[in-house]
Structure 1
Amino acid sequence: MSRQSNRTTDNKKMSSELFTLTYGALVTQLCKDYENDEEVNKQLDKMGYNIGVRLIEDFLARSTIGRCQDFRETADIIAKVAFKMYLGITPSVTNWSPAGDEFSLILENNPLADFVELPDNHNTLIYSNLLSGVLRGALEMVQMAVDVKFVQDTLRGDNVTEIRMKFIKRIEENLPAGEE
């Protein structure tokens, strides 16, 4: 019995390492395909957005989380449930703005950045920008428009990776006339 649980742990670790290496190959290919880091950053955000739009359905089905009451609750769910479920980490939620419409997710360890070292000629590349798009796309599907950006990154020599999220507005559903 204990042997099976070790295999499960080994399979999860191997699966996460395979994902990390595959993601690295994707970013490398984008760097070859596009002329500058800004365009690569846009492409990673766009890919992430498309993933987030689809991933939210899986998240809601697997987590059985209901509608969040406010942005603080949303932040806690993102950090404690979503990141744990999909990346195996729990970032801390800090640096709330006085208005309560902006916060930071601090990742002590970014699994996307394992085994990664940025070349000198890519100093404006936001390597994990896929996460920005995922968060933006997923939240848009639950009627929340947000701005998401990387503020700090361990790949650039910072101590932690910091993702800053700002609530922009609640998106009203546009139902056809006569439907509710």
Structure 2
Amino acid sequence: MAPPAPRTGDAVFANVERVNAELFTLTYGAIVRQLLTDLEEVEEVNKQLDQISIFRGYNIGIRLIDEFLTKSNISRCVDFKETAEVIAKAGFKMFLGVTASVTNWDADGTSCSLVLEDNPLVDFVELPDTCQGLYYCNILSGVIRGALEMVAMKTEVTWIRDMLRGDDAYELRVKLLKQVPEEYPYKDDE
């Protein structure tokens, strides 16, 4: 299957019932704000956001992939490159209302960057100078990791650039660690 056209993500986004994005954005912002108040040090907050990404973000990704596969009518991707395009053009559009560019492929095609010029998760966010080292959007790396693991791809997802930290875009690096073979619970003994 060829990667979906950008319109595929638009069509899916238009036809999907969504929780109000502002509600999620504000709720997540309130959690981060409370962590900053309670822990006071950015590095400690980053550790907690990393834990949220590992557990909560991952679990969100597991649930979102089911909805994505059910509502998008996109068939199985043939390789990691096609999967990255589907995430960038259809997945981000369906759940965040934005698309991403897939860039910076490594030579063996197992690592790429997903670059977002807009990120609705930060619509109401301004970081004070004392919080410039904060990895505010870390939950997205867990979401991507969880979703990809459900389609048999073990990955590592890290933030490379973040506009909240003064960069010119939001960039996630996605590295395929291993393609997990599908296992079927029953073998044909005949």
Give the TM-score taking structure 1 as reference length: 0.84
Rounded to whole Å, the distance in 1 between the matches of 2:58 and 2:38 is: 20
Rounded to whole Å, the distance in 1 between the matches of 2:60 and 2:20 is: 18
Q: How many residues align?
A: 169
**1:53, 1:141 within 8 Å by CA — same for their partners in 2?**
yes
Structure 2 match to 1:131: 140
**2:50, 2:139 within 8 Å by CA — same for their partners in 1?**
no
Structure 1 match to 2:52: 44
TM-superposition CA deviations, 1:17-45 (whole Å, max 9, x none) = 23221221122223345561332222231
Q: RMSD value over aligned CA atoms?
A: 2.3
Give unpaired runs (5+ residues) of structure 2: 1-13
Structure 2 match to 1:149: 158
**1:22 paired to 2:27:** yes
What's the CA shift for 1:80? 0.7
**1:152, 1:162 within 8 Å by CA — same for their partners in 2?**
yes
Give the TM-score taking structure 2 as reference length: 0.80
Rounded to whole Å, the distance in 2 between the matches of 1:59 and 1:176 is: 24
* Helix, strand or coil at the partner of 2:20: helix
* Helix, strand or coil at the partner of 2:155: strand
Rounded to whole Å, the distance in 2 between the matches of 1:102 and 1:41 is: 24
Deviates more, 1:60-69 or 1:132-141: 60-69
Rounded to whole Å, the distance in 1 between the matches of 2:127 and 2:56 is: 20
Rounded to whole Å, the distance in 2 between the matches of 1:50 and 1:20 is: 18
Rounded to whole Å, the distance in 2 between the matches of 1:144 and 1:33 is: 36
* Helix, strand or coil at the partner of 1:148: strand
Structure 1 match to 2:71: 62
Query: Runs of at least 4 residues of structure 1 off by over 6 A?
Result: none
Percent identity, aligned pairs only, is: 53
* Helix, strand or coil at the partner of 1:103: strand
